[in-house]
A and B are shown apart, each in its own frame.
Chain A
Amino acid sequence: MTETPDLIDALVENAAPVRRLRPPLLRAGLWLAFAATVLGLIAIAHGVRTDFSDCVRQPLFVLSMIGALATGILAAVASFRISLPDSSRLWIILPLPALAFWVSIIGYGCLADWVSMDPEGIRLGETVRCFATLFMTSVPLSIAMLVMLRYAALLRPLEVSLMGGLAVAAVTAFALSLFHDLDATVMILIWNLGAAALVATLGSLFGQSMLTWMASHFTTLPRPDTGP
């Protein structure tokens, strides 16, 4: 076993100057700017949904979009805030009101205006394109989040991956509503909440181990494991 004074010697030897982290709000802003860029690129390649001008006149659609966006923004802020060791764990509740608002708007919209899906309503082409948008949005945003928060693996991996997963999920759901015309209520439910639940679950299941992997591959020292 290495003696503690020897370890201190080794750490001092490795003490290269480091660049301090920017404030968490600024870093969350950078991530959101990256998300906006990704959405902008998809908008250029794919174009927004054909009935977008009609949709923006429907208050429920606008409110659900605002709910998704607010959830994404607040969850991103919470994940960057909570990744700092001395910040309060209570930041985890920051996105919850927006999340509740978003879910209730979608739920209310479904109850008030149920559009059933006829057999012709299932269009394979649109479903595949929805999946493509889901991956094109969530994968780069998840990778960016993992790289930016890799140091949190040693501190609060569960909370950070949960908040990060929620942020990615909400932005992805926002993108899906923006780019795909989801007529049937079932489709709205599946693509909004289903995709959000999928991304958030994957984030909390694998986020912790992915953060650890990132931390061990992109830091100067291997992950400490001084145990037997």
Chain B
Amino acid sequence: MSAGRRNPTPLTIVSASRLHDSRKASDGAEWSKLMARSQDGDREAYRTLLEDVTPYIRSLAARCFKQPSDVEDAVQDVLLTIHMVRHAYDPGRPFGPWLAAIANRRIIDRLRRDTRRKAREVELSTDHETFAEPSANLHTETADEVALAQAIEWLPPDQRQTIRMLKLNEMSLKEAAAASGRSIPALKVATHRAIKSLRRMLKQQSNSP
């Protein structure tokens, strides 16, 4: 081994979980101090504490609730509980377990309440929805529109073009004649036949299930 060769620096591997744990421990000590100051009426310390713990509570709540609004409700419930029992915190004890116990307790309570409610109630799908006004039942109109568009597609090309120009694009007979190069009587006949065919096709569709 040559004298000039330096010993390699030993690698220190710190796992992500250890980093996370040490972060949590330092957070806990900091939170403990902030809570002690909050108990004495320091509002800035209280604001810092609540803003700091909110993401942690949210991560706990997100494990149990899927809907973001449910998660946020649970977070707010926990924050309110912390506020109401903040006098019960002993600054001599670690803050982390105190917070986690309250958060878990309130989240479990909400889950139980949700489960009870779901057991009693039946969620309605759109099939169950009815409205007094016919215009509110839009999904039936949509089905009619789809059927009509499909029927237009099945028309012979000259009839399809005529219907599109005169009925869908609302062109006048003169404009349609100029655009297509066909005579006005020819367009009139094509329209008449197209409407007759459409009526027949839609009638067939409504008769067959």
A-side residues, CB < 8 A to B, are 1-2, 4, 7-8, 11-21, 23, 83-86, 151, 154-156, 215, 219-221, 224, 226-227
| B contact patch SS | helix
The 8 Å CB contact of B41, one of A7, A16, A156, A224, is A16
Residues of chain B whose beta carbon lies under 8 Å from any beta carbon of chain A: 38-41, 43, 46-47, 50-51, 54, 69, 72-73, 75-77, 79-81, 83-91, 93-94, 97-98, 101-102, 105-106, 110, 113
Q: Which residues in B have their C-beta under 8 angstroms from that of A23?
A: 90
A21 near B87: Cβ-Cβ < 8 Å: yes
Alpha-carbon separation in the docked complex, A151 to B80 (Å): 12
Interface contact tally, CB-CB below 8 A: 97
Q: Please report the C-alpha to C-alpha distance between residue A13 and residue B43 in the assembled complex, in whole angstroms.
A: 8
Q: What's the nearest-Cβ distance from chain B to residue A66, in Å?
A: 32
Cα-based distance from A194 to B105 in the complex (angstroms): 33
Assess the B80–A11 pair: CB atoms within 8 A. yes
Partner of A85, one of B51, B54, B88, B91: B88
B40 contacts A85, CB within 8 Å? no
Give the interface SS of chain A, mostly helix, strand, loop or mixed.
loop
Given A8-B51, A12-B43, A84-B88, answer yes or no on A226-B105 (Cβ-Cβ < 8 Å): no
Interchain CA distance A15-B105 in the complex, whole Å? 23
- Contact (Cβ within 8 A) A154 B41: no
Closest 3 CB pairs of A and B: A17-B41, A224-B80, A18-B87
Query: A209–B85 Cα gap in the complex (Å)?
Result: 18
Smallest CB-CB separation from B109: which chain A residue?
Answer: A154
The minimal Cβ–Cβ distance linking B185 to chain A, given in whole angstroms, is 65
